[in-house]
Amino acid sequence: MSHIFHPYTSFSTIQNDELPNITRGEGIYLYDDKGNRFVDVVSSWWACALGHNHPVVVKAIKEQADILQHSITGGMTHPNVIKLAENLSLLMPSPDRHVVFASDGASSVEAALKIAVQYWHNIGRSEKKYLIGMDQGYHGDSLGALGVGFVDTFHEPYSQIITNIAKLPFPSPTDNDPHGFEPSRSIIIEHASVLAAVILEPLCLGSAGMKMYSPGYLQQLAECCKEHDVLLIIDEIAMGFGRTGKRFAHNHANIDPDLVCVGKALTAGYMPLSACIVKDKIYNTFSNLGEKDCTFYHGNTYAGHPIGSAAALAALSIYESEKTIEKTSEKALLIKELMGPIEQLTCVKETRFLGMIGVVELHPEYSDDMPIIKRKLRESGYLFRPLGTVLYLMPPLITTNEELTEIINALIDCLKEHLNSN
């Protein structure tokens, strides 16, 4: 047994199963030290949008490593980070923005939360200091992120040290409330006088089991936040850069968030790098030129890392040159079509779809079968990571139609064979 403290991995998995020792990647495939080939069905925790070993990204990393390996963004810049900040700003609905960089999703979220609170402090409204997110939302595992995104299954040991004034309920549409927003509206209005910001994952709560809601909810939320003077933070770390069929998930709702967090696919998963993209109306209050010092005293050693920035610039260029987003929309239709027969299996409670995300939720009574299903799929050459009784496809965006067909057929065959489902 190795000395690794594995995150999100039960002891029974380590003790009773042989963990793959991955030695290389190529395209949508990972290879272990025994020569076994696996399809990376979950894009290595939703990050590797361009698969593995993309020559353009690898070349950019190698070339940058020969020039400049590390430089901080605290009072300094370098060409890559200047260009990357500009590019990210121009991708937003309104481009007048500044970008604070970080190293991973949680650190990007931490920056966003602190910026939101300090913004109100900067303009003399320190009472607006509270932050809320959606029930069972996920924004990282740091304590600040847990305060606005608490998945009970994962985070119960920390419940005594996490406090919040409220949570937005997951939308439950009705005839009178087709997007299920009205309960959230009531909560925002109730706390608006002390509320700094609302944060949520757009359209899909990933770690809660890929729970999906409508763009209409997001649109109403943005309008409500604007009306009641509350900042809106959109966490695009998992959904950004084409996963949903548009560049960002919030584009489906045609909204203009105050702060947007990105990561994972920002570098196609090749380097640790994330960012929080901030409207200038907020950024401009962080000045020390007035009566008080409003400097943002928050940072990250690897924020805007030169090699990470090079990888990000390469990834962004590929998304455009290879028309990745346009192709994602086409593949989304194929995924939904191919997964149609799954709905007929007796073990299946529900299927859900959003861009290149396909979700199969089994009935609760099959929870004990999930480790077996996961192992059987891996033995067939497919790396899944179920969430409870939820099996989901979130493969690299470069996955071909033929490869998608093989993945989905393998999943159907496995469910039929090992759950005796028909």
**E strand or H helix at 336:** helix 324-338
Residue 421 confidence (pLDDT):
58
- What's 35's DSSP letter? S
Closest CA to 49 of 328, 352, 366, 301: 328
Candidates 40, 104, 235, 258; catalytic one:
235
CA–CA gap between residue 326 and residue 316 (Å, rounded): 14
- Which residue of the set 29, 119, 130, 138 is catalytic? 138
Catalytic residue status for 177: no
Read off the tokens for 113: 């939360």
Concerning whether 264 is annotated as a catalytic residue, the answer is yes
- Catalytic, 40? Answer no
The dihedrals phi and psi of 27, each to the nearest 5 degrees, come to 65, -130
- Domains by residue range for the chain, with CATH: 11-53+323-418 (3.90.1150.10), 58-321 (3.40.640.10)
Q: Are 102 and 111 in contact (CB under 8 A)?
A: yes
Average pLDDT (158-163) is 89
Q: What is the mean pLDDT of the chain?
A: 95
203 and 218 Cβ atoms separated by less than 8 Å: yes
Those residues whose C-beta lies under 8 Å from the C-beta of residue 251, and which sit 6 or more positions away, are: 93
Q: Average pLDDT of 376-402?
A: 95
Annotated catalytic residue: which of 8, 62, 158, 413?
8
Q: Which one is catalytic: 246, 264, 327, 374?
A: 264
Q: What is the pLDDT of residue 163?
A: 83
123-151 pLDDT, tens digit each: 999 999 999 999 999 999 999 999 999 89
* pTM to 2 decimal places: 0.96
pLDDT digits (tens, 9 = 90+) for 254-266: 999 999 999 999 9
319 catalytic? Reply is: no
For residue range 59-68, list pLDDT tens digits in order: 999 999 999 9
